[in-house]
Amino acid sequence: MLNRGLRQMDVDIILKMGFFIRHLHQHITNLHREQQNSKAAMPSKFQVFRGQGLSMEAFEKMKKTKGGLMSFNNFLSTSRNRDISFKNFARPAAFDADSVGILFIMNIDTDICTASSTPFVNVKDIGFFNDKEEEILFSTHTIFRIDRIQCIEDKHTDRLWQVNLTLAGNQDDDFNKLTAHLRKEIAGNTGWSRLGQILIKLGEPAKAEHLYQLLLEKASSDGYKAHCNAELGTVYKDIGEYSKAITFYERAIDIYKKMGPPSQLNLAASYLNIGSVYYNMGEYSKALSLYERSLEIRKIALPPNHPDLAGSYEGIGIVYRNMGEYSKALSSYERSLEIRKMALPPNHPDLAQSYNNIGLVYYNMGEYSKALSSYERSLEIQKIALPPNHPDFAQSYNNIGSVYDNMGEYSKALSSYERSLEIRKIALPPNHPDFAQSYNNIGAVYYNMGEYTKALSSHERSLEIKKIALPPNHPDLATSYNNIGLVYDNMGEYSKALTYYEKDLEITLKALPPNHPDLAASYNNIGSVYSNMGEYSKALSSYERSLEIRKIALPPNHPDFAASYHNMGSLCENMGDYSKALHFHERTRDIVQKTLPPTHPHVLQSKRDVERVKKKM
């Protein structure tokens, strides 16, 4: 029961057996010291074996992390006897319909065990097989690197595998730095509270919520009550329950304010956290105000390169990006990255977040090659620092898919989006807002590929989730209405398209600043419908309003200008004004040739448009 509780991070079992876990670990540590100083000492380097079953899903995850690190996350029983491990444990598991039989071969260096405080004990005289098994028991935090995974030939099954592991410890410099920093990051709280923070970082919000609710019930001091409320706010924010998140963050803020100056940094963190909830709800002005309050406190209380300052700059950058102020956003993100490079180890997850944020701004500015480079740098760090199905992976694959989509590489885009959705199905509750993003983006690729029925189905699924998860005037709802309108527009159902575009515009006017790029897209799409319906004067008015906003909001060669000029060129062509049509189509061609790959469909289309109009003249 204990090992199952540890493997599954079962909060109730761990809380009930916490004393026993600590006692057993200490007993192993003491016995290890005694045995290594006696004649029973193990050689400096030796091998042990472990046979067990592994679910098909867990085995597939392991294969994907070959070369990476793994922990069994329990008190680890191993044997010096290969035959017992193989015949009694690994091989029988291969014949279970739901599992794969695994023989782990572990290379142990006692110097690494000593340096890394990784105790083990020889329990050969008290195990089930007496001295035949030669059982070696390791404590809970033993870490291995996966060296090799290979199939074991067997006449009766193809589900027997050998996995070679090497004990990891202080000899691994990057891992050592990252571990030290993470310990520092969660220091200062009780062991139980640290467990909750780890559960949040591992993407286990339901378990963290259960733990913090139990801890809050038992909390006696104001400081600890505030801390538990703040952590519960973070849990609810992560699962998309924003009103609950605000409630718990506000409770924490009220307590920290009463506690006075000693709690200023906790107050700053709470302002930042509640700001991030308002950001998720699309209330950007509230979010910006709270982020700036957090930054003011931290500038006074912290040294200039403290990692928490990076968090404040990042939050401010996020809001500016969503308000369409990309140069301000990029400046804030780069300041955040600069601090993190000085303050954090090279593979810390927060560095991945910084590169991801910078990629988002470049993407919004239409600089797709720079965006892709930043996203891939972020993903590299995440693969080292995070467990394989952490929600951050989903966002990275989603962002990479967006770049490929805009570069016209639709099969790569679809593959990335589907990988993102696959991770989210494992990591998140079913109506989390991030699912809406996945379905929305898959719909966008199908739209670009001309598969309008599939596109419509995906966009409608996205809209359903957003209606459940978001307030009625959230900008993301406007995006869904816009995308459904685009599909109907291209299916020739213009009245339906216009209805959805007008819903999009209604929300966008309420939710965003007057010169936000999304407003330009709304006017552009309404113009497109009017053009298709033959109402050319209304179409021209909408196109011109769209172009005015883009000239204010975007850099001069942004791809969205190409969309404006293309639509105005097509409109002038339909009206028989071929000289203006040629002017706009040539401007479109010049922009797409600068910003997109030469084989992109928009580049090829722009050249055809120019040649077609020339022939009409």
Residue 23 is predicted with a pLDDT of 57
For residue 74, being part of any structural domain is answered with yes
Most confident of 25-29, 72-76, 359-363: 359-363
For residue 607, being part of any structural domain is answered with no
Average pLDDT on 498-522 reads 91
* Number of domains within the chain: 2
Q: Which domain holds residue 258?
A: 183-301
Domain boundary among 112, 136, 171: 171
Same-domain pairing of 16 and 100: yes
The span from the CA of 32 to the CA of 36, in Å, is 6
Same-domain pairing of 161 and 285: no
Residue 320 is predicted with a pLDDT of 93
Q: How far is the first Cα of the chain from the last one, in angstroms, to the nearest whole number? A: 83
Q: What is the CATH number of the domain that holds 30?
A: 3.90.176.10
For residue 57, being part of any structural domain is answered with yes
Question: Where does 365-450 have alpha helices with state H?
Answer: 368-385, 391-406, 410-427, 433-448
Same-domain pairing of 119 and 58: yes
The span from the CA of 444 to the CA of 433, in Å, is 17
Query: Can you tell me which residue has the tokens 């008290």?
Result: 126
For residue 379, being part of any structural domain is answered with no
Same-domain pairing of 297 and 221: yes
User: What amino acid occupies position 350?
Assistant: D
Residue 2 confidence (pLDDT) above 50: no
Interval 407-466: pLDDT, tens: 999 999 999 999 999 999 888 877 788 899 999 999 999 999 999 999 999 999 999 999
* Model confidence, pTM: 0.55
Residue 207 is predicted with a pLDDT of 77
Counting every residue written for the chain, the total comes to: 617
Q: What is the CATH number of the domain that holds 233?
A: 1.25.40.10
Average pLDDT on 389-403 reads 92
Work out the angle at residue 484's Cα, subtended by the Cα atoms of residues 480 and 488, and round it to the nearest 5 degrees: 170
Asked if 477 and 507 touch (Cβ cutoff 8 Å), the reply is yes
Interval 187-218: pLDDT, tens: 555 556 666 666 766 566 777 887 888 888 88
For residue 65, being part of any structural domain is answered with yes
What does the block give as tokens for 585? 């189509």
Same-domain pairing of 150 and 215: no
Q: How far is CA 422 from CA 229, 427, 435, 439, 469, in A?
A: 32, 9, 10, 11, 20
Instruction: Give the chain's largest Cα–Cα span.
Output: 99
Q: When comparing pLDDT for 197 and 139, which is higher?
A: 139
Interval 364-389: pLDDT, tens: 998 999 999 999 999 999 988 887 77
Same-domain pairing of 224 and 249: yes
Same-domain pairing of 151 and 75: yes
Residue 280: name the closest of 255, 253, 246 by CA: 246
For residue 96, being part of any structural domain is answered with yes
Same-domain pairing of 22 and 148: yes
Q: Mean pLDDT, the chain, as a whole number?
A: 86
The span from the CA of 445 to the CA of 296, in Å, is 43
The span from the CA of 569 to the CA of 579, in Å, is 9
The span from the CA of 129 to the CA of 138, in Å, is 18
For residue 20, being part of any structural domain is answered with yes
For residue 165, being part of any structural domain is answered with yes
Same-domain pairing of 190 and 229: yes
Same-domain pairing of 122 and 269: no
Q: How confident is the model at residue 571 (pLDDT cuts 50, 70, 90)?
A: very high
Same-domain pairing of 199 and 137: no
Domain boundary among 301, 329, 361: 301
Domain boundary among 266, 283, 301: 301
Same-domain pairing of 154 and 193: no
Average pLDDT on 93-108 reads 91
Q: Enumerate residues 6+ apart whose C-beta is below 8 A from 603.
A: 589, 592, 593, 596, 597
Q: DSSP per residue over 240-301, as a string?
A: T-HHHHHHHHHHHHHHHHHH-GGGHHHHHHHHHHHHHHHHHTT-HHHHHHHHHHHHHHHHHH
Interval 289-346: pLDDT, tens: 999 999 999 999 999 999 889 989 999 999 999 888 899 999 999 999 999 999 998 8
